[in-house]
Amino acid sequence: MKRILVFAGFSLLAVGAFAQTNLQVFYDFGENRKHVTTTLEMFKADDWGSTFFFVDYDYFTQKERDKETIPGFKPNEHFYGIRNYGSYFEIARAINFWQDSDLAALSAHIEFNGGVGFGSRNWLFGVEYFMHNADFSNTFTFELMYKTFKGSESHLPLQFTFVWGMNNLFGVEGLRFSGFADIWGEDGPYADEDKSQKSLTFISEPQLWYNIGSLFDCPNFNIGTEIEISSNFAGNQGFMVNPCLGVKWDF
């Protein structure tokens, strides 16, 4: 799950750019993971607000997997034994046609989450509030949304989302720290627990990128890391930390 391009997109508004797309390729070093994930992200702002989407695609090279992360999900095997364990998609629209008013930082928000291999599909409706410093180098967005559930249930159908970003971290040109955190209520299921258990779900993916391409006249190329920190997420009970290394190409 990625929402980090939202930060980059808002930063670009300060210099007159209104769209950005990137492709990320990560290798996940987490326990029982050891796979590659590609993420395609797009952010575009306009006079009526902004649109954001991303698509995650997970790849596995092992022929078999002893334990399914998501109960009941069967992977599809492709060429050369490479398996797809799911593709996840989010698209969000911020509605804001009052950008010249005192309420410019506040937007209405509508979002859809779903994918192949994920039991729950969700519509979300709410508001978001955007904050930034004078040159947009540091930003923060807070979202409060009502969340519907299809394929699962919730005793607390609300989601709180936080998105942050910092450019030129510690004064290092091209070093960017960004990330998001989501919190919501969802009632199971878990692979090894009572499916009726009520709990809070948490997922955060802080990223650190360095624009190494700027050193050799290729400013589109970045190297970096992501750490997925979660609790009761994607069918897994309890706390998990999955470190990743990756590259990113900004189009």
Predicted confidence (pLDDT) per residue in 72-130, tens digit: 444 444 434 444 467 899 999 999 999 999 999 999 999 999 987 666 789 999 999 99
Tell me which residue of 198, 107, 114, 200 sits closest to 151, measured CA to CA. 114
The answer to whether residue 131 scores a pLDDT higher than 80 is: yes
Q: Is 27 helix (H, G, I), strand (E, B) or coil?
A: strand
pLDDT class for 2, splitting at 50, 70, 90? low
Position with higher pLDDT, 74 vs 35: 35
Q: What is the DSSP letter of 250?
A: E
The rounded mean pLDDT for the chain is 83
The residue whose two tokens read 């992200």 is 41
Interval 203-218 mean pLDDT:
97
Rounded CA separation 117/127 (Å): 29
Count CB-CB contacts under 10 A for residue 233.
Answer: 19
pLDDT in tens, 139-162: 999 999 999 988 778 888 999 999
Looking at residue 33, its pLDDT comes to 78
pLDDT-based confidence at residue 205 (cuts at 50, 70, 90):
very high
Please give the pLDDT value at position 195.
53
Helix (H) or strand (E) holding 13: helix 5-13
- In which domain, by residue range, is 51 found? 5-250
pTM of the model: 0.82
Number of domains in the chain: 1
CATH number of the domain enclosing 242: 2.40.160.40
Among 106, 209, 130, 200, residue whose Cα is nearest residue 159: 200
Distance CA 185, CA 202 (A): 9
* The pLDDT value given to residue 76: 46
Strand intervals (E) in the chain: 19-28, 35-46, 49-60, 76-77, 83-95, 106-116, 122-132, 138-147, 158-166, 175-186, 199-204, 207-210, 221-233, 236-250
